[in-house]
Chain A
Amino acid sequence: METATINNNFKSEEYFINMGPQHPATHGVLRLLLTIDGEIIKKVEPDLGYIHRSIEKMCENDSYQQIVHLTDRMDYLSSHINNEAVCLAVENALELEVPDRVKVIRTILDELTRISSHCLWWGVMGMDVGALTSYFYGFRDREMINDIFEETCGARLTMNYNIPGGLMHDIHPNFVRRVKEFITHFKTKIPEYDRLLTGNIIFQKRTKGVGILNKVDAISFGATGPVGRASGYSCDVRKYHPYSALDRVHFNEALHTDGDSYARYLVRIQEMWESISIIEQLIDYIPDGDHKVATNAVIKLPKGEYYQKVETARGELGVYIVSTGTKNPYRVKFRSPGLSNLSLLNHITVGGKIGDLVATMATIDIVVPDIDR
């Protein structure tokens, strides 16, 4: 009764606030339309399209080799894995068997990409909950991976190392040594990450029980990757549809059942350990052989529809190609993990505070160009 009187006397009013497209927490040009009552979030509407470059449409005028280069610009933190998705789709359509060496190198680089993406995520996660130092720690370790990539293919962000039929060049002679150096270094650094953030009581208070997503919702919203796995939805493409050299390695799928931001955080930390284990299993056994098989200069896929999915750092990336038998695809569709992961934002943040929204967005780990394409 008493609360009712208070509410009558001091009526609180909902108001509308624009978060983005320029806002530190939206990691790019994402715009969120927030309806807020004081600090409590009533509604979150993501407004997309600020970095839409119609990559799918551009693909229709490009050859298959060119499409690979466009995929870099989607999820730029998983660019090597994106490239691989298109290459695998084309190779499967052509029924092309790539050499073992290519498969192993691709998988090692995939996992390095995943670690580098998670490093950046970890840094930014800390920054979003207000601990700026983690950002620099994450970047220090990411830098070593970038150096490996730079030596391997000359690029640090948009790799373009995969081509349909194999790799653009063979690996650098230093590759194995440097990857091993990185692994030795990084194994000492993940415990450091844990000391700085994971065990911190403020950090746990900020993330535990925040943005809870249950398994049923995770499946119905199409959540994949660490977001889905933190809710107990076993969805690792690497486990269920192994590609490249993933059929010959043993690793555990990082699964948690809490579904809150802290679980999503732990899944990614565990994934870094698993990626290290995958690289360790492969790095000493890179088979000799050619780094590519020859394809026609103009690739024409047989008439039909092709689908290939891979596990990027953010979740399941699907590449769907419809070919009419010409040198260009008739239609290309990318199923990006970011879009479906973002779609559940409203569902899991309503009722929380502004700080919760930021913490939750950080653990969803969105990359805006991946959402807009």
Chain B
Amino acid sequence: MDIILSIHDWFLGLLPAQITGFTKMALIALTYLTLFAVLGLYLVLLERRVAAWFQLRIGPNRVGFQGLLQTMADALKLLSKELTGTVKADKFLYNLAPYFVIVTSLMALGIFPFTQNLQAYDINIGLFFLIAISSIGVIGVLLGGWSSNNKYALIGAMRSGVQTISYELSIGLSLLTMVLITGSLQLSEIIEVQKNGWLILQGHIPAVIAFMIYMIAGTAETNRAPFDMVEAESELGAGFHTEYSGMKFAYFFLAEFINMFIIAAIAATVFFGGWLSPFGITESIPWLGVFWFLLKTFILVFLMMWFRWTFPRLRVDQLLTLEWKYLLPINLANIVIMALIVWLGLTLQL
């Protein structure tokens, strides 16, 4: 975008080339950190308001206008809280675990194209990177549950391992189905392909199936209801983060919401054309892409919240049955069908 270029030029005029690079990196990192915090806090607020709406309540509406500062206040409270922990915990791993979770979700956030050229790093294996990064997050959950030396936390952590490893297959395969159409893993190219129609339209029925499987697996991947086996408050108290308090707990908590955003953002990018406007109605105004991208993402986020406040939780063995006996075979068949469609050139081009 022009603004970015002009900032770049302004910096070059001000500083030597090498320092410009570092300054830009620092600035981008700072921007993403801010975005991360704001997004996390406001997704929490959104969740609470949506939950209240489903549950005949009003929700937080006292701190700030319509409760806009509520989560800020909560974050301040969490910051000022004493970090308690168990004596028998494995201190090093116990303290390390929250960073695994939060750093991976922050890294994943970095590669999304918010609009044309507004992207921190357009990595050429974008989708692969996203899937790989989200698998690392589970190590944090496993470590946290295991190292806190609490049986409930351990059960939660083990469930998380089982669940995430299973559902990653479905996420990977359903995204792979769409990659067959795009022929690229790079997010900017995936969006470029969709100028002829969003992928969910291009790939018609197999794409819809892939999208549904992706949403189910994505909900499971973020450990949200109806797949919140990992936390399952009526079974395990708080699951893997039972022994965490204060800001360390907040890291897990924020990461959960950011992960939800990431899952929705991937879906918006891969299936619904990312920052592309519907029917190209605002093609001439590229900065509106941010609006379209966020709109699509938040609609999908809302969908995930809708799941959470409607469905009961599955049992852990049913969760695995669903993945290995239903989703995975359907997914494999779906890939073959999609491959045939692409091979025969039957994709829908608008």
A126, A132, A137, A202: the one contacting B314 at CB < 8 Å is: A202
B57, B235, B309: the one contacting A354 at CB < 8 Å is: B235
Residue of B whose beta carbon sits closest to that of A203 = B312
Instruction: Choose, from A17-25, A110-118, A161-169, A227-235, the stretch at the interface.
Output: A17-25
In this assembly, does B290 line the interface, its C-beta being within 8 Å of a C-beta of chain A?
A: no
In this assembly, does B282 line the interface, its C-beta being within 8 Å of a C-beta of chain A?
A: no
In this assembly, does B23 line the interface, its C-beta being within 8 Å of a C-beta of chain A?
A: no
By a CB distance below 8 angstroms, the chain A residues around B225 are 130-132
Report, as a range, how many residues of chain A touch the other chain. 20 to 34
* Chain B proximity mask over A350-364: 1 for CB below 8 Å, otherwise 0: 000111101000000
A355 and B55 form a contact (CB under 8 A): no
> What CA separation (Å) do A132 and B155 show in the bound complex?
22
In this assembly, does B330 line the interface, its C-beta being within 8 Å of a C-beta of chain A?
A: no
* Chain A proximity mask over B301-313: 1 for CB below 8 Å, otherwise 0: 0000000011111
Assuming the A-B contacts A23-B237, A24-B234, are A130 and B155 also in contact, with contact meaning beta carbons closer than 8 angstroms in the complex? no
In this assembly, does B317 line the interface, its C-beta being within 8 Å of a C-beta of chain A?
A: yes
- Mark out the residues of chain B between 40 and 58 whose CB falls within 8 Å of any chain A CB in the assembled complex: 51, 54-57
B226, B228, B234: the one contacting A202 at CB < 8 Å is: B226
B315 and A133 form a contact (CB under 8 A): no
A355 and B56 form a contact (CB under 8 A): no
> What CA separation (Å) do A354 and B234 show in the bound complex?
10
In this assembly, does B341 line the interface, its C-beta being within 8 Å of a C-beta of chain A?
A: no
> What CA separation (Å) do A358 and B315 show in the bound complex?
11
In this assembly, does A136 line the interface, its C-beta being within 8 Å of a C-beta of chain B?
A: yes
Residue of A whose beta carbon sits closest to that of B238 = A24
> What CA separation (Å) do A133 and B225 show in the bound complex?
12
B51, B56, B235, B311: the one contacting A137 at CB < 8 Å is: B56
B315 and A355 form a contact (CB under 8 A): yes
By CB atoms of chain A within 10 A, which of B152, B226, B234 has the most? B234
> What CA separation (Å) do A137 and B57 show in the bound complex?
10
- Mark out the residues of chain B between 128 and 170 whose CB falls within 8 Å of any chain A CB in the assembled complex: 151-152, 155
Give the shortest distance, in Å, between B7 (CB) and chain A (any CB).
46
B313 and A202 form a contact (CB under 8 A): yes
In this assembly, does B283 line the interface, its C-beta being within 8 Å of a C-beta of chain A?
A: no
In this assembly, does B233 line the interface, its C-beta being within 8 Å of a C-beta of chain A?
A: yes
By a CB distance below 8 angstroms, the chain B residues around A354 are 155, 235-236
In this assembly, does B316 line the interface, its C-beta being within 8 Å of a C-beta of chain A?
A: yes
B56, B233, B310: the one contacting A131 at CB < 8 Å is: B310
> What CA separation (Å) do A129 and B310 show in the bound complex?
12
In this assembly, does A15 line the interface, its C-beta being within 8 Å of a C-beta of chain B?
A: yes
In this assembly, does A206 line the interface, its C-beta being within 8 Å of a C-beta of chain B?
A: yes
Assuming the A-B contacts A196-B310, A202-B313, A355-B315, are A133 and B155 also in contact, with contact meaning beta carbons closer than 8 angstroms in the complex? no
Give the shortest distance, in Å, between B316 (CB) and chain A (any CB).
6
A128, A203, A355: the one contacting B316 at CB < 8 Å is: A355
By a CB distance below 8 angstroms, the chain B residues around A295 are none
By CB atoms of chain A within 10 A, which of B226, B235, B309 has the most? B235
B310 and A133 form a contact (CB under 8 A): yes
In this assembly, does B232 line the interface, its C-beta being within 8 Å of a C-beta of chain A?
A: yes
In this assembly, does B86 line the interface, its C-beta being within 8 Å of a C-beta of chain A?
A: no
By a CB distance below 8 angstroms, the chain B residues around A202 are 226, 311-314, 318
In this assembly, does A39 line the interface, its C-beta being within 8 Å of a C-beta of chain B?
A: yes
B234 and A128 form a contact (CB under 8 A): yes
By a CB distance below 8 angstroms, the chain B residues around A17 are 151-152
- Mark out the residues of chain B between 293 and 350 whose CB falls within 8 Å of any chain A CB in the assembled complex: 309-318
> What CA separation (Å) do A39 and B318 show in the bound complex?
13
B234 and A206 form a contact (CB under 8 A): no
B234 and A127 form a contact (CB under 8 A): yes
Chain A interface residues toward B at CB < 8 A: 15, 17, 23-25, 39, 126-133, 135-137, 140, 196-197, 200, 202-203, 205-206, 353-356, 358
Top 5 A-B pairs ranked by shortest CB distance?
A130-B313, A136-B55, A129-B312, A131-B312, A355-B315
Known: A23-B237, A132-B225, A133-B310. 16 other contacts (CB 8 A): A25-B234, A39-B155, A39-B317, A127-B234, A129-B313, A130-B228, A130-B234, A132-B309, A133-B54, A200-B311, A202-B226, A202-B312, A202-B314, A353-B317, A354-B235, A358-B235
